[in-house]
Chains A and B, each alone.
Chain A
Amino acid sequence: MDRKEILSELKKVLAPYTESKEMLAGINEETDLIKDLKINSANLVDIIIDAEAQYNIEIDFDAAEKMYNVGNCIDVISEKINKTA
C-alpha cells in the first residue's frame, strides 16, 4: 500500500472524529489532527485503535506518540504494514 492509498483509508478512519468535514476532504501530510481537524485530543487514542483494525497492525506507545499529524500517521502505518508483510 503506498502513501496515497494509506491517506485515502486514513480519511475514513478520521471521519467520525472531526467536525471539520471540508478540512478532512482536503487533508495533506502537513494537516495537524488537533489544530487543523479540531479532534478531541483524547480521541487520538480511538483513532489509533481504529487504525489498528483498519490496517491490521499493532501500534505501540512510542509509535502512538508520533501520530499528531497526517504525515506522521502515514509514516507509522506504512512502517507497521511493511513489518507485517
Chain B
Amino acid sequence: MNDILNYLPYKSSFLFVDDITSLDENGVTGNYTLKRDAFFYEDHFPGNPVTPGVIITEIMAQIGLVVLGIYLMVSGSKQEGGAMDENSFPLLTSTNVEFFKMVLPGEKVVVTSKKQYFRFGKLKCLVEMHNAVGELVAKGVFSGIIKNAIK
C-alpha cells in the first residue's frame, strides 16, 4: 500500500506522509508524525513551538487528496481524471478547515478522507485529522486538481 508514496511529488521538508494504512477508491487513511526539528517550529513560535494551521492543512491535503487522487488515477478510471506524468503536479483548489486542537512537535496525527466525488479531473473529499489519543484535531472539505507544469 505504501508503494503509492513513491508517486508523491514532495521531497524532504515538505513531505507530510509517513504511512498509508487503508486505501481504496472511496477513501484513504494515513498518518504522519511531526518532526521535532521541522523548519517551522523555530519561528512559529519562538520558544513556544506549535504546528501552523497551514501545515495541518497540508498534511490533510497530502494524505486525504493527493494520495487518494494518485491512487484513483493509477488504478484506472483515466477517462475521469487523466494520467499524472512527471510534468504535472497536484494543486489544491479549495479548503474550509476547522481546527479543534493544537498539534505539538513530535505528535502523531491520523488523517482519514472520504471521497465525495472524482469527476472531470477534480477530487473532492471530506477530510478529518485525529491525534494519537483519538481526539478530533481538524476537519474540512478539500478539493484539488492535477495541473500540467507551465514550461
For B119, list chain A residues within 8 Å (CB): 45, 48-49
Q: Binding site of A, secondary structure by majority: helix, strand, loop or mixed?
A: helix
B108 at interface by CB-CB < 8 Å: no
A20 at interface by CB-CB < 8 Å: no
CA distance A44 to B143 in the complex (A): 12
B88 at interface by CB-CB < 8 Å: no
CA distance A40 to B124 in the complex (A): 14
Number of cross-chain contacts by CB at 8 Å: 24
Q: Do the beta carbons of B93 and A49 come within 8 Å of each other?
A: no
Q: How large is the interface on A (under 10, 10 to 19, 20 to 34, 35 or more residues)?
A: 10 to 19
For A46, list chain B residues within 8 Å (CB): 124
Q: Which residues of chain B in 44-91 are interfacial with respect to chain A, using CB atoms and an 8 Å cutoff?
A: 79-80
CA distance A61 to B145 in the complex (A): 15
Q: Do the beta carbons of A42 and B79 come within 8 Å of each other?
A: no
Contact among A42, A49, A61 for B117, CB-based, below 8 A: A49
For A45, list chain B residues within 8 Å (CB): 119-122
Q: Name which residue of chain A comes closest to B145, CB basis.
A: A42
B94 at interface by CB-CB < 8 Å: yes
Per-position binary interface string of chain A over residues 29-46, scored 1 when its CB falls under 8 Å from any chain B CB and 0 otherwise:
000000000001011111
